[in-house]
Structure 1
Amino acid sequence: MIRPALDPSDFLTEFYISFRIPTAVLTAALLIKLPTIIRLWRDPLLRAVGGLLLLACAVFVFCTPSTIAAVNRLTGVPNVSAPWCYSLITAFCGSCLLLIIAWRNGLSDRSAGTRRAMRRVVRVYSSVIVTLWVLFLLADAPRERVRDLDTYYATTPFMREEIVLYLGAHTVACLITSRLIWNWVRTEGLDAWLRSALKLLGAGYVMNLAFDAAKLTAVAARWCGRDLDWLSTDLAPPVAAVSAILIAVGFILPHAGQYLHDRWRVRLAHRELRPLYRLMRSVNGGGVPFVLRAAPELRLTRRETFIRDVLLPLTRHVDTGLGRRSHRAALDLGHPPERARALAAAVVVLDAIGAGARAPEPHGTATGPDTTHLLQEIGAVSRALRHPEAIEAVRARAGAAAPGVTVPE
């Protein structure tokens, strides 16, 4: 048995770029999805996603030249890795189609037609896998090839049919999958994260078609007596790696993107409340106790609660007439309606703080709309407090006296 030596100068490029990086990304995608898959195991869509990611990881683990040589050496059968790798790729194709069937019919569809279609996919691709092993047993492939088996045995009886069979099954699955995904991208009402994920998945399956085209072209060239082996040995592996990364990121994006978006929104809301929070601390003399391991959501909730608790007794001192004048003044100064409401509320809050410090009894009429706005729109009021010059301009135009209160830096 002769084993072709791997070129050491190509090892890093081949192993880390073409195999290690996509394996790491696919594994990360699987680990992110795994808790949901286990929790909702009865969901066919999640099972299909889990199976696809697991098989994609297995493909890149077992199709590395070093693993191919190790499996051949362990079994003592030259090129036994060929039907094994082809079987994994074929199973991956079947998982793609099962995933599309689950997506196309929706999570709630348990109809006989859906179950029949999924059983048909399982039967067809299981038959392909069995046929791959039968063809390998019938073929004569004594010389081990860890990098160029597809082209080296492209004209060998039974191995030729096996190579065409696995590439054909892969091409058909990728064609159907990519077409359905791109059709879905064009539908209305998709979440932005889901639309972006589908675009990545669609691009990934298009790259898979490029992988198939490179392999089939190299094999067909051998049939015609020409040598285009570089398409199969040098171009196809990195194309497959890029495809795997796109598909993995496509599965990660909806979950990770929404998670990061929610965390950013919470942190931004917490930061936006800082001016109003500091103002309320100057009134109350205290603040929210710091907790080192508190989640961002809890910190935001505690800050909001503290602000409303301090604002509530101040509403007894709200001058609704000042609020109306300030709102008109803000509009006259050219501010948009929402910003005008926030600036007017900020003027009222500062005035109420000053009034509360001067007199124990309220000097205005506290009614529902203005106080409700103060308690519910604290984010807008806090953002307005970041612009003291705008507040001063509104107060001056409204003819209000200076409250003697400033926003803490």
Structure 2
Amino acid sequence: MNDSNGLGFYLPGAMLLVAAGLKAPALYRNPRDELLRSVVTLLVLATAVFGFTAIPTLVAVNRFTGIPNAAAPVVFSLLTAFSGANIVLIFRWSSGPEDGERTRRLSRLCTMVTLAVIVAINVLFALGNAPVERLRDLDTYYASTPYIREMILLYLAAHTTAAVTMTLLCRRWAREVHGALRAGLLLIAFGYVLNLLYDIAKFSAIGARWAGGDWDFLSIGIAPALASVSALLIATGFVLPLVSQHVTGQWEMWRRYFRLRPLSRELRGATRHSIHLAGGPWTPIEIRLTQRESDIHDGILTVSPYLHADVRERALEEELAAGRSTDEAVAVADAAALASAVVLWSRAQGAREGAVAKAASPVLTSPNSPSGLVRMSRALATSATVRSCRQSAVLQSSSTP
């Protein structure tokens, strides 16, 4: 898999770098968000793993340092850091607010152990002697070389420990959750099963060298392919639930935005735009929705002097008698009172009359919640009771001198 031009590693690495870039603005806005920081760290490390395990990068590092095989401790350190970052992220991902201190303690411990292993890997490489550059079979070529041998075994042992830990943690948590989170955890668990197979292949090839055999094909051919697929699955598993959550949130906001359109249109003439947030076709949906809801509340406040509780009560009684649920009946009654008030307000504006006396207490209850606003908007568009009350208001206003 580790082709000479490195495309098999650079392409997935570039994809992960793009994913990290997409998360960077959110981290910039919330630099203290430990979960988000862990996600970005993981994606950056995954990108580095792909980038530094490609043959052209290995050659470049060795040439730049002037030390044969200097890329080996770099790659081993990155793989160790990536494994540690995975465990830290799982700790932070699966913990609740009440586990904050315990999570921070475990995260610090994992980080310290990871750093200790990385330091040991580099110290062992410095103590050892690896004069012949080996780009694909360093593990088996130096399987019996003092210090280099220990460096290889240490990195594999740390990698195996992380793989077993992550597989168990993800499988256990996956039983308790559903949807995209469960799918992500299963992807991570499967990725770490491949990691275990990678470690088995490496250990087997090294053991064969110690026994005088040659199973280098396990280390040179099979293990790199397993590692590449594993890293991609693991990174995807972490990103999938976050992307799914973002997409779902965006969809819900767009849905609410469009479902509020009838209510927004009803109050268009009465809206004074107390705030101006939306500014063009590229305005985020969060701002669009905030603007629409603000305009709706502004319009309701404008026509509130013309809201009549008796109109609402009559509509409510009709809806309840027709077998509507309480929430739906209240939404229709509020919509009917509002439609009537808009008609009366429009006539008063046309006749340049002053506002009638304000209601002593709020007449509508649906605007108190986002879901209530949506139900009220739907009632404005579909309810026969609302249409009847609006027509009655039109007749009343036209007959009043």
The TM tier, using the shorter chain, reads 0.7 to 0.9
1:296 aligns to what?
A: 285
2:364 aligns to what?
A: 371
Letter in 1 for 2:7: Y
Matched positions, count: 383
2:57 maps to 1:67:
yes
2:48 maps to 1:58:
yes
Gapped runs of 5+ residues in structure 1?
1-5
2:222 aligns to what?
A: 235
The offset of 1:196, in angstroms, is 6.0
In the alignment, the residues of structure 1 paired with residue 367 and residue 112 of structure 2 have an alpha-carbon distance, to the nearest angstrom, of 60
In the alignment, the residues of structure 2 paired with residue 181 and residue 394 of structure 1 have an alpha-carbon distance, to the nearest angstrom, of 53
Structure 1 length normalisation: TM-score?
0.71
Give the alignment of 1:95-174 within 5 angstroms.
Answer: 95-96=85-86, 106-108=99-101, 119-135=112-128, 137=129, 142=132, 144-151=133-140, 154=143, 161-174=150-163
Residues 193-223 of structure 1: per-residue CA shift (max 9 Å, x gap) = 7666555544443332232233334444555
**SS of equivalent to 2:127:** helix
Inter-CA distance 209–36: structure 2 relative to 1 (3 Å threshold): farther
1:3 aligns to what?
A: none
Give the alignment of 1:213-292 within 5 angstroms.
Answer: 213-221=200-208, 229-253=216-240, 256-281=243-268, 283-284=269-270, 291-292=279-280
Contact 1:354/1:404 (<8 A) preserved? yes
In the alignment, the residues of structure 1 paired with residue 362 and residue 31 of structure 2 have an alpha-carbon distance, to the nearest angstrom, of 49
In the alignment, the residues of structure 1 paired with residue 346 and residue 54 of structure 2 have an alpha-carbon distance, to the nearest angstrom, of 76
1:16 aligns to what?
A: 7
Larger displacement relative to structure 2 (177-186 or 164-173): 177-186
1:350 aligns to what?
A: 339
Letter in 2 for 1:378: L
2:399 aligns to what?
A: none
Residues 353-395 of structure 1: per-residue CA shift (max 9 Å, x gap) = 34445676999995645324357533321122332xxx12676
2:398 aligns to what?
A: none
2:302 maps to 1:307:
no
Larger displacement relative to structure 2 (311-320 or 167-176): 311-320
Inter-CA distance 124–299: structure 2 relative to 1 (3 Å threshold): closer
Larger displacement relative to structure 2 (23-32 or 168-177): 23-32
What value does the CA root-mean-square deviation take over the aligned residues?
A: 4.6
Give the alignment of 1:88-99 within 5 angstroms.
Answer: 88-96=78-86
Larger displacement relative to structure 2 (253-262 or 268-277): 253-262
Inter-CA distance 226–157: structure 2 relative to 1 (3 Å threshold): same
Highest RCO, 1 vs 2 (Cα 8 Å, sep ≥ 6):
1
Inter-CA distance 186–280: structure 2 relative to 1 (3 Å threshold): same
Gapped runs of 5+ residues in structure 2?
396-401
User: Among residues 178, 185, 200, which one is paired with 2:167 in the alignment?
Assistant: 178
In the alignment, the residues of structure 1 paired with residue 356 and residue 26 of structure 2 have an alpha-carbon distance, to the nearest angstrom, of 57
2:376 maps to 1:385:
no
In the alignment, the residues of structure 1 paired with residue 391 and residue 32 of structure 2 have an alpha-carbon distance, to the nearest angstrom, of 67
1:337 aligns to what?
A: 326
Contact 2:91/2:106 (<8 A) preserved? no
Q: Percent identity?
A: 37
Contact 1:266/1:296 (<8 A) preserved? yes
Inter-CA distance 233–329: structure 2 relative to 1 (3 Å threshold): farther
In the alignment, the residues of structure 2 paired with residue 174 and residue 224 of structure 1 have an alpha-carbon distance, to the nearest angstrom, of 26
Structure 2 length normalisation: TM-score?
0.72
In the alignment, the residues of structure 2 paired with residue 125 and residue 246 of structure 1 have an alpha-carbon distance, to the nearest angstrom, of 24
**SS of equivalent to 1:370:** coil
Residues 70-115 of structure 1: per-residue CA shift (max 9 Å, x gap) = 3344455544433442333234444455656777795435998986
Inter-CA distance 180–378: structure 2 relative to 1 (3 Å threshold): closer
Inter-CA distance 307–40: structure 2 relative to 1 (3 Å threshold): closer
In the alignment, the residues of structure 2 paired with residue 325 and residue 364 of structure 1 have an alpha-carbon distance, to the nearest angstrom, of 21
In the alignment, the residues of structure 2 paired with residue 123 and residue 312 of structure 1 have an alpha-carbon distance, to the nearest angstrom, of 64
Contact 1:331/1:337 (<8 A) preserved? yes
In the alignment, the residues of structure 1 paired with residue 88 and residue 34 of structure 2 have an alpha-carbon distance, to the nearest angstrom, of 9
